[in-house]
Amino acid sequence: MSESKTASRSSFNFREALSTYSIVLILIGFLVLLAVLTEGRSLSPQNLLNVVVQVTPIGIIGLGMMAAIITKGIDLSVGSTVAVAAVVSASLAQIPGEKTLIANLPALPVFVSIIAGIGVGTLIGAIVGSLVAIFKIPPFVATLGMMTAARGIANIYTNGRPVTGLAKGYNVIGQESILGIPIPILILVACTVVMWLIYNRTRFGRHIYAIGGNEMAAKVSGISVAKAHFKIYTLIGMLAGIAGIILTARTGSGAPSLGNIMELDVITATVIGGTSFNGGVGKVWGVLVGTAIIGVINNGLSLLNVSPFWQMVVKGAIIVIAIIIDERKNRR
């Protein structure tokens, strides 16, 4: 009798582990499939490193998007926030000359432009958080409105033109390495550690999961749901600001078109990483694996010369499939 119980318990644990880490198997499957289709080009060390660098901004924002989705919300404005943070930061990092966006701009320390970019992203996130927390506007509506407004602000600020001629010290953020590791990856690692600590070792993190699990019960237990929502969207804005700086430093220019449709990749990475739209479920490592899958798919389809339009179709289908799988899990 005891042997049958042990066997049953062992079988149950195996299924649970398979369900939990299935996303890792999917990543490995994509890597193998694309390696075969691209004749091994997709698995070259340099290509894999480039993939990670390219998806770093997606992963950074995804770490914040996870909180919004856990609490049954969403942030559609992250791509536009990236653009505003990018152009503001770039405008302050320009080398003094005739073509600077801000007339008679003196040479400023790099940290000034970095703080400005992060500050602008944080401000946009705080505005969204206020709309959700104070005015009780649904996150979908609040962020949809900000998505349009912020993109307009980015174009107004630059008159629709890219901001070029950035200081070499600024471009180092996106183009150089430390001990062979690209700086954008180091920034992603730092953000991951901080966000893991927030989710798993702080009261705010516990409140996020409690609100996502049962908002009414969270209110009854004394949790300020409005304050948590404000913090969540402010945090997402800050992370979008960091992502905007990385993108600007990588390309050496800040364009108002940066981050266009980026929210699609961020949401896709977060959802396929196991964060549930039904709330209360999400893991930091899952977001990173989901981000890696998006990077591998984008890179593999590009190596195969697949049209960018078809790439959008593929990512849209992945979101739908991930939600279907999530719904089936919840029913069980």
Summarize pLDDT for 177-190 with one digit per residue, the tens: 999 999 999 999 99
- Low-confidence residues of the chain: pLDDT under 50: 1-11
For the chain, state the CA radius of gyration.
21
Q: Please report the pLDDT score of residue 328 as a whole number.
A: 72
Q: Please report the pLDDT score of residue 330 as a whole number.
A: 62
Q: 152: Cβ–Cβ under 8 A, 6 or more apart, which residues?
A: none
Instruction: Count Cβ atoms below 10 Å from residue 330 Cβ, excluding itself.
Output: 11
- Identify whether the C-beta of residue 75 lies closer than 8 Å to the C-beta of residue 320: no
Q: Please report the pLDDT score of residue 285 as a whole number.
A: 96
Structure tokens at 253: 């220019």
Q: Please report the pLDDT score of residue 98 as a whole number.
A: 62
Identify the DSSP state of 177: E
- Identify whether the C-beta of residue 34 lies closer than 8 Å to the C-beta of residue 40: no
Q: Please report the pLDDT score of residue 332 as a whole number.
A: 62
Is the whole-model pTM more than 0.85?
A: yes
Question: 183-201 and 225-251 helices cross at what angle (nearest 10)?
Answer: 170
Q: Are strands 181-182 and 177-178 parallel, antiparallel or unpaired?
A: antiparallel
Summarize pLDDT for 124-157 with one digit per residue, the tens: 999 999 999 999 999 999 999 999 999 999 999 9
Alpha-carbon distance 60 to 276, whole Å? 18
